[in-house]
Amino acid sequence: MIGQLEELHGVLLVDKPQAHTSHDVVARLRGKLHTRKIGHAGTLDPMATGLLIMLVGKATRISQYLISLDKEYTGSIELGKITDTQDAEGRVMETRPVPALSEAELRKAMAGFMGDQYQTPPMYSAIKIDGVPLYKKARAGAEVVREPRFIRVGAFDLTRFGLPQFDFRLRCSKGTYVRTIANDLGERIGCGGHLAALRRTASGQFSLDQALPLEAILELSRAEIKARLIPIHEAAPSVAL
């Protein structure tokens, strides 16, 4: 049956639902499209929702180009609770009182994360050391030294002020762990904190407005999905295949 189907090639923009890993989305689309040649450009944690760039067929060749694009997010940070994963899915390790911050004081603390910097990746991440993902070491109770990575934060704006939880908008370079920014912001303030919610709204020139929810895509016919595919030369015009 697979051999009788027209091969599809291009970029598909998906609005990832919560509680799905990026690999879950790959697996479900792989079954829908009857192809093994499918991947994604930029992982989203299960807790996160929003834009996931899916690469179908020959579009997998431009993976590195699309992964390197800057990302934009909206989300919420909760101060006063430190979790082992740095987000709301983790176990609360410590609770501290939240100081009576003013909106101006919070904005000033957030502004300290702007620009070029080095970030230490969290233990609960897919980064491999000696061939083993860090999250597996973390689950075993191990703590290992991680090499800081260069990142750039282009915007970190307060969009709703509140304590202990507030909303933000973030624009950053590839490889940035937003939950680590939440954790580190809490440490700078002195009360700790974690990422309470996250939604990716853009990746380079691609916007969440162009995406469809995963479940809606799975309801489409093969022809309708083909019509939604962004041609490779449009998705990565500067890449020679």
Domains by residue range for the chain, with CATH? 2-68+205-235 (3.30.2350.10), 71-202 (3.30.2350.10)
The reported pLDDT for the residue numbered 1 is 42
The reported pLDDT for the residue numbered 160 is 98
- How far is it, in rounded angstroms, from Cα 68 to Cα 17? 23
Tokens representing 13?
């923009």
- How far is it, in rounded angstroms, from Cα 22 to Cα 41? 10
* Class of residue 24 by CB neighbours under 10 A (exposed 0-12, middle 13-18, buried 19+): middle
Check 45, 84, 116, 209 and give the catalytic one: 45
The reported pLDDT for the residue numbered 146 is 82
Per-residue pLDDT 10s for the chain (241 aa) are 445 778 999 999 999 999 999 999 999 999 999 988 999 998 899 999 999 999 999 999 999 999 999 999 999 999 999 999 999 999 999 999 999 999 999 999 999 999 999 998 887 777 777 777 777 777 777 777 788 999 999 999 999 999 999 999 999 999 999 999 999 999 999 999 999 999 999 999 999 999 999 999 999 999 999 999 999 999 987 764 5
The reported pLDDT for the residue numbered 131 is 75
The reported pLDDT for the residue numbered 6 is 84
State the pTM of this model. Answer: 0.91
Q: Which amino acid is at 47?
A: M
- How far is it, in rounded angstroms, from Cα 25 to Cα 150? 28
Question: Is 45 a known active-site residue?
Answer: yes
* Class of residue 115 by CB neighbours under 10 A (exposed 0-12, middle 13-18, buried 19+): exposed
171 touches 159 (CB < 8 A)? no
